[in-house]
Chain A
Amino acid sequence: DAMVIQNPRYQVTQFGKPVTLSCSQTLNHNVMYWYQQKSSQAPKLLFHYYDKDFNNEADTPDNFQSRRPNTSFCFLDIRSPGLGDAAMYLCATSPHRGTMDTQYFGPGTRLTVL
């Protein structure tokens, strides 16, 4: 089955220690998104790629970076995680630029910062 895969499902890091979260997709979608979801809150968009075109949300901290080396893979880098960055990180994809397009979500990576 075509899907969105996130690894690892659970990640523990130390305060200030860089961490990378991974997302891959077999849907061959052009657009990939990263969301941050804190406990009992709505998912919040951090940034998205349309193909190789990177689009950062205005309020996304500089501490968060992303890479998309090819269509299938997208990475979220947190350069210096703080305690406030503990959250579920969700990757999603959509086929095109269309604003009515369905987004397909991965299972998420739960990040713990010690």
Chain B
Amino acid sequence: AQSVTQLGSHVSVSEGALVLLRCNYSSSVPPYLFWYVQYPNQGLQLLLKYTTGATLVKGINGFEAEFKKSETSFHLTKPSAHMSDAAEYFCAVSDGTGTASKLTFGTGTRLQVTL
């Protein structure tokens, strides 16, 4: 069985500062890893995903994440935060054994961006 741990349920950064949201996973098979963003009262939107190949993955809105197998991590970063980045961010791992992309989500990190 797989699981995801997101360190820090709330993260606050100043506009223009580095954003770092942490995600560690546990999986018995090679993982497929995802970051989703959820704005208030909306569904989830894919930011980026890692399947195979290059371990540094670039996504939308200037976000990127690096898969580090040795650290079982998939941390999300953005060099310069914008007010519009304020949202809930979910890391997820896909079950690699089944018949569909069954996602196990972390508990989420709420990002606050201040002036």
Contacts and interface: CB of A to CB of B under 8 A. Distances in A.
Interface of A: 4, 6, 31, 33, 40-45, 48, 50, 53, 55, 90, 92, 94, 97-108, 110
Given A42-B90, A100-B51, A90 B99 contact: no
A108 B94 contact: no
Given A42-B107, A99-B95, A100-B51, A48 B102 contact: yes
A100 B95 CA distance: 9
Nearest to B42: A107
B44 A100 contact: no
Interface residues of B, number: 27
A17 to B, nearest CB: 24
A42 B44 contact: no
B102 A102 contact: no
Contact of B43 (A41, A94, A98, A108): A108
B103 A103 contact: yes
B100 interface: yes
Interface of B: 9, 32, 34, 36, 41-46, 49, 51, 90, 94-103, 105-108
Contacts of B94: 99-100
A55 to B, nearest CB: 7
A103 B107 contact: no
A98 B32 CA distance: 11
A56 to B, nearest CB: 12
B108 A31 contact: no
A98 B101 contact: yes
A102 B100 contact: no
Nearest to B98: A99
A104 B97 CA distance: 20
A55 B95 CA distance: 14
B106 to A, nearest CB: 6
A85 to B, nearest CB: 19
B102 A45 contact: yes
A43 B42 CA distance: 13
Q: Determine which residue in A31, A103, A108 has the highest number of CB atoms from chain B within 10 A of its CB, and name it.
A: A103
Contacts of A48: 100, 102
